[in-house]
Amino acid sequence: MKFSEMKYQRPNLQAVTQKYEGITRQFPGCSNAAKQYDLILQHEAMMSHFQSMGTIAYIRNSVDTTDPFYEKEMAFFDANNPAFEDLVQKFYRVVLNSKFRTELEQRTGSLFFQNIEISLRSFSPAVIDLKKRENALVTEYEKLLASAKIELGGKILNLSEIQKDQISPDRQTRKDAWEKTAGFFLDNSQKLDEIYEELVQNRTAQAKILGYKNYVQLGYDRLGRNCYGPEEVKKFRDQVAVDLVPAVAEMKKGQAKRLGLPGLKFYDNNSLFPDGNPAPKGDRQTLVEQAQKMYREMSPFTGEFFDFMVKNELFDLESKKGKAGGGYCTEIPDFESPFIFSNFNGTAGDVEVLTHEAGHAFASYVARKFPLLELRTPTMDAAETHSMSMELFSRRWDPLFFEDETEKFYRYQLENAVGFIPYGCLVDEFQTAMYENPSLTPDERKQTWKNLEKKYRPWIDFDHMPFFENGGGYQRQHHIYSFPLYYIDYCLAQTTALEFWLASEQNWQNAFSRYLAFVKAGGSKTYKELVKASGLSYPMENGCIKRLSDRLSAWFQSHSK
């Protein structure tokens, strides 16, 4: 069904509540597992419908933020999501205590129960007020950043508009852009300190109420992490610091050489080429047609998937007036349909939408028939592996998009991918330290960031830019405020995606079929199980990053220009 034909109707919350209360009451008294499983399926249908309506409203609201109808519907979901969540949690509680758990696990798998257990222990009505305050603080932070009006070259820019100038091929322009950006943060430094201070204290208080030592494990639980803890992540970061950072530093030397500079200043770090980044050729229509050709050639599964997306108009790609910013992929379970939203702007990012977001969409299409919604999507580390690997598996078809700039794009893509990992670890180690030591002062927090910069990005020279030089850089990283402890997922996913890419360099077909198996498992396995079943090395285990780093260095050496 075409997206435009999908019928939206506001859920009847009263009816939903009655039904949930009914199945929650009935569940413990069922005389066998089959009857309980039937109630679980009733819950699935209700959750699927509620989510589908919420998602349709969300998409239509972001496609046209001026439409008053969907604005009202979004307000309905914002106001009522917590009540719906509460109904689901109460149902989960009786499921978890099922006297037929062993029999049920034969149908649902044990991970279903393990995931429910994690979600229940990380929440209690006793933290509702703190959670509300936490949400308000996050909104305040996002609003403060969105309010930025930075004057540059006679134009007034916001923080996302200025990004283009931050990577300008003209060095003075990018230096100015970063200086002005730093100026905005410096002006708001005290407010940003205060918001973060209260967020750390708030999250720590929630952890204490729920019986955790500090926020770290609570943060992991809220992300649904089901196969590793902070100790394993530390092992991963240590490998990155020891085995990958020197290779990235070497790569950065090559970048400086390309730019004709003796060394990289902070504002040069994201400028990979003297003449700017590679850009795709052709408009939206052309790019989508090329993507369709690519997915059809890639495999019958990807071809079927992309044809389905095109036929049902499950995209909204171009920027237009009234449309929300950014990009995302989501899914509408009742219609077994993914949906991709973006704002094409003529950069390489447009192709990344058609590979990265389409990688997410492909995974959701593949898992659409799983009877249990809870097992369709894995944890974020694995879900980002779906998308980041697709970006790299599609390298064979990059000439369709980049033509004579293909070689340049190859380098651009890999240098970005590899260069990101140390930065992601910096963000993660910083956040972990903040929640392990919640009583640090704002200056001590900045000092921590500054020290970690030296550990993970020793090649960066801040050129005496006060805000960055003094360790304020963490305040521009949204995730640190808005999505606590979420970020290392990108590093793990990037590592696994690079492993898939290296395997594909040796035997594309074989690597792709392993990737397909990874995707087809949906969320029925943990990230660790998925990686191991694919025959790749697990990032937390010693040696993984060293091997990866050696092979990447060899690639960069053989492609050095």
Q: Which residues would be at the binding site for Zn ion (CB under 5 A)?
A: 387
- Residue 271 beta carbon to Zn ion: minimum distance, rounded to whole angstroms: 24
- Residue 360 beta carbon to Zn ion: minimum distance, rounded to whole angstroms: 6
Name which of 51 and 387 has its Cβ closer to Zn ion.
387
- Residue 356 beta carbon to Zn ion: minimum distance, rounded to whole angstroms: 6
Rg of the chain over Cα atoms, rounded to whole angstroms, equals 24
Residues 6+ apart with CB under 8 A from 438: 200, 201, 204, 214, 215
C-alpha angle with apex 186: 181 to 192, nearest 5 degrees? 105
Question: Cβ atoms within 10 A of the Cβ of 332, count?
Answer: 24
Return the residue nearest Zn ion (CB atom): 387
- Residue 297 beta carbon to Zn ion: minimum distance, rounded to whole angstroms: 23
Query: Cβ distance 338 to 364 under 8 Å?
Result: yes
Q: Report how far residue 482's alpha carbon sits from residue 427's, in angstroms, rounded to the nearest whole number.
A: 13
From residue 14, give the alpha-carbon distance in Å to each of 52, 84, 110: 18, 10, 32
From residue 1, give the alpha-carbon distance in Å to each of 311, 336, 366: 8, 10, 17
Name which of 39 and 314 has its Cβ closer to Zn ion.
314
Structure tokens belonging to residue 247: 């290779």
Name which of 134 and 384 has its Cβ closer to Zn ion.
384
Name which of 360 and 446 has its Cβ closer to Zn ion.
360
Q: Round to the nearest angstrom and report the end-to-end CA distance of the chain.
A: 49
Q: Report how far residue 219's alpha carbon sits from residue 106's, in angstroms, rounded to the nearest whole number.
A: 30
Residues 6+ apart with CB under 8 A from 138: 199, 481, 482
Name which of 214 and 387 has its Cβ closer to Zn ion.
387
- Residue 560 beta carbon to Zn ion: minimum distance, rounded to whole angstroms: 30
- Which of 118, 6, 121 minimizes the C-alpha distance to 52? 6
Buried/exposed 376-408: b ≥16 CB within 10 Å, e otherwise: bbbbbbbbbbbbbbbbbbbbebbebbbeebeeb
Name which of 239 and 387 has its Cβ closer to Zn ion.
387
Pairing of strands 337-344, 315-318: parallel
Strand ranges (E), 100-251: 150-152, 155-157
Name which of 181 and 387 has its Cβ closer to Zn ion.
387
